[in-house]
Structure 1
Amino acid sequence: MKYLKKQIKTTGSSTKSRIPVRLNILFFIVFLLFAALVAQLAYLQVIHGSSFQAEVNRTDRTVIQGNVPRGMIYDSKGRVLVGNKANSAVTFTKSMNVKTSDLATVARRLSNYISVDTSKLTDRDLADFYLSDNKKLQRVIDTLPKSKRTTKNGDKVPDAVLYKLAVNKVAKQKLTFSAKEKQQAAIFKTMSGAYQLSTVFIKNSDVTSKEVAEVSEHLQSLPGVNIGTDWERNYPNGDSMSSIIGNVSSESQGLPEDQINSLLAQGYSRNDRVGTSYLEQEYENVLKGTKSQTQVTVGSNNQVLKSQTLYTGDKGSNLNLTVDSNYQAKVEAALKNEFNLAKSNGHAGYSDGAYAIAMNPKTGAILAMAGVRNDPKTGETTDDALGTINRSFVMGSAVKGATFLGAMMDGVITPSSNYQSDDPIYLPSTPVKKSVYPVGTFSGMNAVTALEVSSNIYMMRLALKEGNAQYVPNSYIHMDSDIFTKLRGYFSQFGLGVKTGIDIPGEAPAFLGSTLNEYGQLKVGSALDLSYGNYDAYTLIQMAQYVSTIANGGYRMKPYLVQSIQKTDNDGTQGAVESSTQPTILNRVGFTDSQLDVVKTGFYNVVHGTNGWGTAHTLKSVSPSISGKTGTAQSFYSDGKNLTQTLTSSFVGYAPSDDPQIAVAVVFPNLSESASNSHYNLDMAKEMFTDYFNTQTAAK
């Protein structure tokens, strides 16, 4: 017992002595940790406190770009053809990492002050707006089957997948939204579609003064929203030359899909307006201007704190065209009147339109371009000035000036030796090839007479000589294999069959017929047809360039529409000229003055001659005097089932005859054969010459 008590006493004493040591060790460790924590806090607060405070108050500064008004387009007299209309606009600049729910809140507030178009809202748009409320989103997700919310491994499905499932479910439910909610959804759609720190237009048309005032008054409660200005194209002259001027994309359309990568690489934004066709597209770099630059300050909460304009931008430069809008309007009106007359006379049932162009033969400056496109099936007509550069037609005898000069350059005739037999051409198993007048009307003629009466036989005999033909009537014919190359080579010197290089995109090439038949043999008959303009098809701009080359003495000039590019001063007036288009000689045709005189005399006699078979004597009374050449070509109209033979009527000419100031080309394709004695081409040319000189006189 004494031993046991002694043991207990000894053990108790030992336990009592051990517990305080352990506690002391624990307390000591806690003390060290606490001391370390105090030291760390002191280190952070005392030594680095200012830097951490600065981090809390940190802001990011980002420079964003804004659009400026596009340059304007003026006619040759300084009249505005394309201007800009300033519209008040409600804008939104999207903050960085802004929450969807915050966007919805702003959209709901803003809907109290403005109304927007809701016609383009889709079920998906409405579903997105509905789910912008996090509580609603969670409720929809909770109703999804568990198999949709978790993977086979029991993991949660990614939020993006869950959101897509929720959208699909809401869209299928076809929930009913009030008109007010649709307004909010439309605003929300525009806001959520913006890129971070980009500015979009929530409403940029028909913004009322009341809307501007109310939004301005509540900007404090509408983060990111502001009042700005948007610009849109306006056309004081209406639709005149609209197809030549081209179009500009809207802010909602943004960059064209087929050009988006290249334009983004040039610094454009996806919703930028750009020229999408013709002059607006061709001169995009000139018209677009330089974007404004605004420095946006973003706080640590990713909200835009303030913005500061660093550079107001530079409005696009202006285009001054070579066209006088008054003259252009007269040409358009005359062409429509002539074509409507052809329709009322029953001559245009198969016709696909009519086209006219005028240019300065000495410089290549376009004076007017007009076109009427007709649908033979519906009879509907539309403006189609572009048809002068992108449609080709078989022009007939109007090209004979090039045939004559080519033959003289080839040496088969000369200015003093050019009399030829007028016997028709009889090819084996082929209808007789002759002129429009009866066989035997002329036994022979010289070059000047051949132009005046428009002898097809004369042209074909020139081609026979150029091709070194071996010809036995009704029996045999053989020509050099390069006859097509030779004839087209001379034609191309005048611009027939090659692009003119006009400063509008979309110019089409000519349509050149085949040179060999299905057996690989030379199409000799077609070579003869080519000589008098009844085979290859040319654009009207090529015809204008060709006749200008004859008018100016042999210089093929590059046509152009833009005379100069000009800045706009701060006060809105036209500023300094940045560049001017100088006349460009593409080539000099290799004929001599004496050779040219033969053709010019022939062209003069086409109008002023006395031969009863002359083709343009109705223009004889026009002052100043006109020189020119008519053309009639065989053509065909197909409705998909039947092929109907038609005729194409054309004219090329210039005035005054002794010092040409204007050259014109006109074509009326696919008129009915009953129109053979009509003069729509000549009447149109007469209007063009008369109106031009009247316009010139009135301007003095």
Structure 2
Amino acid sequence: MKKMSFLDKLKKENEEPMTQKSKKSHIPFRLNLLFFVIFGLFVALIVRLGYLQIAEGQQYAKKAEENSTLKIKSSAPRGQIYDAKGNLLAGNKANLAITYTRGKKVQTKDLVPIANKVNDLIHVPADELTERDKKDFWLATPENLKAAQKRLTDADKVDEKGNKITDEGTLYVKTVEKVTPEEINFDGHTLQAATIFKRMNSVGELNTAFIKNEGVTQDEIAIIGENTSEIAGVSTGMDWDRDYPSDTDLRSLLGKVSSQKAGLPAEEADEYIAKGYELNDRVGTSYLEKQYEDILQGHKAISEVTLDSKGKIVTQTPVSEGKKGENLKLTIDMAFQAKIEEVVRDQYQQLLATGNAAYSDGAYVVVMNPKTGAVMAMVALDRDPATNELTSNPLATINKAFEPGSVVKGATISAGYEQGVITGNDVLIDEPLQIFGSEQKSSVFNKIPGNQIPLSAEQALEYSSNAYMMKLVLKMMKTDYQYNMQLPYQTGDPTLFNVLRKTFGEYGMGVSTGIDLPGEETGLSNKAFDSDAAPMPGHLLDLSFGQYDTYTAMQLAQYASTVANGGTRFAPHVVEGIYDNKSDGSLGDLKEELKPKELNKVDISTEQMQIIQNGFYDVVHGNGVFTTGKYMQGAALDIAAKTGTAETNVGEHVTVNSNVVAYAPYNDPEIAVSVVLPHLTSESTRPNQSMVTAIVNAYAEYKAQ
């Protein structure tokens, strides 16, 4: 009989009548079909597994092995900071160190035996541990934890609403409260172990902490090396501390670096982590250390760690030693800085001795290269009014602002040019101005009502004419002076204030100077001279001769530089360049020079700028009866300058700010200088001019060396 095929059989079954017998007959066949399909799937699965085992087994085995071998990073020393002559200002002191790298799945209970073993091997001085630190260490032993947990009452295990507490952190806090004072009354040796435990427990998985990084001996390094199999994750290495070998007042300018314990500043942590930093990385937190963090930060060393099945570190092998950060070289020569500070300190001490500085804040001086913006000296002496003690604080030159007085008049004339109210060395009449509803406003040399003196723009600078500046502002208001006139300018309208301030800003006053340091103040505008703090029309007149807004010594130095170089405003900078390292870690070759950064040009013609420069020269070298800067004649280099006296108050005491902006030599300027001496009782001895002369002489002597 011919055997039926599988398809014939199916066909025949479909043709049979649906009797009870036929229904039963094809059930076994369906089961067989199901078994056949399942069998086929099993065969396919076995074939696939065999393929993975044979063809790709080595690949997966290698991957599994890689998963137990991980790379970790550790910090490298920061780059160093040098002065303009290559003298070290901020360096690194290398220290031997004992480190702990936490493996995966490592619990606090796993740390206790390691901490105890390390404590038996080396001496780690105990920290000032808090009560919580001690309790955490005691509870890290499982037996102690269980004992404390048994002390929890039913009330301890529910919240205020009577619900069972399931959060482990909350329960742990309650457990901590059950530890008794007697249980944490540790002896000295145990306190040392608790200190080691705390340091180890301060880091997360695959992060490294220092168990000891001060006073580590070679013997301790050897002992740790001999016992690494018993102290998983503990290793030896190097650490560093910021070191400041030079005793200089530039220390505050350099800034600070966070400790490993403090790590990243909380408010900037996300930004740093996005750059690849770890939470416990040390970073610059202020001034140069912060401004140039990306340059100074070293490239981390890399080690390879092998973990066992429990996540504990079995071996740790250095892969890359890392690379020290790049170095900064400043524009400031430490010796020149010290000389300028000596000049400022000596002369200010004389003011204190005569009582002239009885209410003064201190003295503030900046010396700058007007052709590049390179800062050559930043000197600030803050005075303690209670003791007369002087504290060196160079940063005050960028974050303390004072009324400048008449030094701004060059910029006011520049505003007149920009607004088209004068075009050249125009002549205006200096006379006392009587504005309706206000006191008479006049130049210092011409207070007699009705007395009229014709002055050119250059003479207005030489004699320091307040009236000339106020008449420029009146012209900007589209009016001319008339006795007892009412000002057309509406109270609170900022238009002309902004016009004048825009030009002042072109010279660096009232705006950011662009200096490569964080924390700069831009001065104060719109002071509350009237009850509702709104600027009055008369205040615009005050602004024109420096009796309204306030500026820093750095802003005034930038102003002097801009006049000196013919109208280009350069950003001040204290870093000259970025340097690599020699093999011994010292200052290497120049990698990147910081080029002068041009911010803007003053919007006047070369001829108009020459008029302002001539006026500055005449301030010192003019022969007029009212020439204001004659005390600067006879300096080692020809000085061009603008003096300024701002009337101020300290409480009920009437004081003056004695200021000056200057540059020298006039025909080819090499330095620009600002001097701010706030709140003196008198300036009859011209202390501002005396100080500038001494600074220029000091520069000439320095240059000749």
TM-score relative to the length of structure 1: 0.85
Tell me if 1:562 matches 2:583.
Answer: no
Q: Distance in 1 between matches of 2:602 and 2:153?
A: 83
Identify the residue that residue 75 of structure 1 maps to in structure 2. Answer: 83
Q: Say whether the 8 Å CA contact 2:368–2:671 is kept in structure 1.
A: yes
Q: Say whether the 8 Å CA contact 1:118–1:186 is kept in structure 2.
A: yes
Q: Say whether the 8 Å CA contact 2:248–2:338 is kept in structure 1.
A: no
Distance 1:390 1:149, change over 3 A: closer
Q: Distance in 2 between matches of 1:498 and 1:58?
A: 56
Shift of 1:422: 2.4
Identify the residue that residue 454 of structure 1 maps to in structure 2. Answer: 464
Alignment of 1:518-667 (within 5 A): 523-638=536-651, 643-667=652-676
Alignment identity in percent? 38
Q: Distance in 2 between matches of 1:338 and 1:499?
A: 30
Q: 336, 345, 356: which one pairs with 1:336?
A: 345
Q: Say whether the 8 Å CA contact 2:382–2:393 is kept in structure 1.
A: yes
Q: 681, 693, 702: which one pairs with 1:686?
A: 693
Identify the residue that residue 503 of structure 1 maps to in structure 2. Answer: 516
Q: Which amino acid aligns with 2:482?
A: V
Distance 1:215 1:412, change over 3 A: same
CA deviation digits over 1:162-218, x for unaligned, max 9? Answer: 543332122666742212211111111111122122111112123344544544454
Identify the residue that residue 365 of structure 2 maps to in structure 1. Answer: 356
Shift of 1:516: 11
Distance 1:696 1:475, change over 3 A: closer
Q: Distance in 1 between matches of 2:103 and 2:64?
A: 18
CA deviation digits over 1:378-432, x for unaligned, max 9? Answer: 645433222222222210011111122332444444445x333222111223221
Distance 1:150 1:564, change over 3 A: closer
**Of 440-449 and 382-391, the range deviating more from structure 2:** 440-449
State the Cα RMSD in Å. Answer: 3.3
Identify the residue that residue 182 of structure 1 maps to in structure 2. Answer: 191
Q: Distance in 2 between matches of 1:303 and 1:189?
A: 18
Q: Say whether the 8 Å CA contact 1:648–1:670 is kept in structure 2.
A: yes
Q: Which amino acid aligns with 1:492?
A: G
Identify the residue that residue 168 of structure 1 maps to in structure 2. Answer: 177
* SS of alignment partner, residue 476 of structure 1: coil
Q: Distance in 2 between matches of 1:690 and 1:321?
A: 23
Q: Which amino acid aligns with 1:267?
A: G
Shift of 1:573: 4.4
* SS of alignment partner, residue 682 of structure 1: helix
Q: Distance in 2 between matches of 1:518 and 1:588?
A: 38
Tell me if 1:125 matches 2:133.
Answer: yes
Identify the residue that residue 24 of structure 2 maps to in structure 1. Answer: none
Identify the residue that residue 702 of structure 2 maps to in structure 1. Answer: 695
Tell me if 1:63 matches 2:71.
Answer: yes
Alignment of 1:361-380 (within 5 A): 361-377=370-386, 379-380=388-389
Distance 1:523 1:56, change over 3 A: closer
Q: Distance in 2 between matches of 1:531 and 1:150?
A: 72
Q: Distance in 1 between matches of 2:489 and 2:139?
A: 81
Identify the residue that residue 21 of structure 2 maps to in structure 1. Answer: none
Shift of 1:582: 1.6
* SS of alignment partner, residue 663 of structure 1: strand
CA deviation digits over 1:228-260, x for unaligned, max 9? Answer: 111111112235322322111011110101111
CA deviation digits over 1:543-576, x for unaligned, max 9? Answer: 1111111111111112222222122243434444
Q: Distance in 1 between matches of 2:319 and 2:163?
A: 54
Tell me if 1:142 matches 2:142.
Answer: no
Q: Which amino acid aligns with 2:97?
A: A
Q: Distance in 2 between matches of 1:574 and 1:53?
A: 48
* SS of alignment partner, residue 169 of structure 1: coil
CA deviation digits over 1:469-516, x for unaligned, max 9? Answer: 243323534358743233223222222222121111222223222699
Q: Which amino acid aligns with 1:77?
A: K
Shift of 1:667: 0.6
Q: Say whether the 8 Å CA contact 1:396–1:650 is kept in structure 2.
A: yes
Q: 248, 253, 262: which one pairs with 1:253?
A: 262
Shift of 1:113: 4.3
CA deviation digits over 1:6-48, x for unaligned, max 9? Answer: xxxxxxxxxxxxxxxxxxxxxxxxxxxxxxxxxxxxx9xxx99
Q: Which amino acid aligns with 1:545?
A: Q
Alignment of 1:282-321 (within 5 A): 282-321=291-330
Tell me if 1:265 matches 2:274.
Answer: yes
Q: Say whether the 8 Å CA contact 1:123–1:171 is kept in structure 2.
A: no
CA deviation digits over 1:347-376, x for unaligned, max 9? Answer: 333322321111111111111112223343
Identify the residue that residue 464 of structure 1 maps to in structure 2. Answer: 474
Shift of 1:313: 1.7
Question: Gapped runs of 5+ residues in structure 1?
Answer: 1-42
Q: Distance in 2 between matches of 1:471 and 1:88?
A: 77
Identify the residue that residue 90 of structure 1 maps to in structure 2. Answer: 98
* SS of alignment partner, residue 252 of structure 1: coil
Q: Say whether the 8 Å CA contact 2:526–2:535 is kept in structure 1.
A: no
Identify the residue that residue 326 of structure 1 maps to in structure 2. Answer: 335
Tell me if 1:389 matches 2:398.
Answer: yes
* SS of alignment partner, residue 328 of structure 2: strand
Identify the residue that residue 24 of structure 1 maps to in structure 2. Answer: none
Identify the residue that residue 443 of structure 2 maps to in structure 1. Answer: 435
Q: Say whether the 8 Å CA contact 2:515–2:571 is kept in structure 1.
A: yes
* SS of alignment partner, residue 548 of structure 2: coil
Shift of 1:316: 1.1
- The total of aligned residue pairs comes to 646
* SS of alignment partner, residue 678 of structure 2: strand
Distance 1:184 1:515, change over 3 A: closer
Q: Say whether the 8 Å CA contact 1:410–1:466 is kept in structure 2.
A: yes
Q: Distance in 2 between matches of 1:687 and 1:386?
A: 22
Q: Distance in 2 between matches of 1:355 and 1:609?
A: 27
Q: Distance in 2 between matches of 1:514 and 1:188?
A: 56
Q: Say whether the 8 Å CA contact 1:95–1:302 is kept in structure 2.
A: yes
Distance 1:113 1:355, change over 3 A: farther
* SS of alignment partner, residue 255 of structure 1: coil
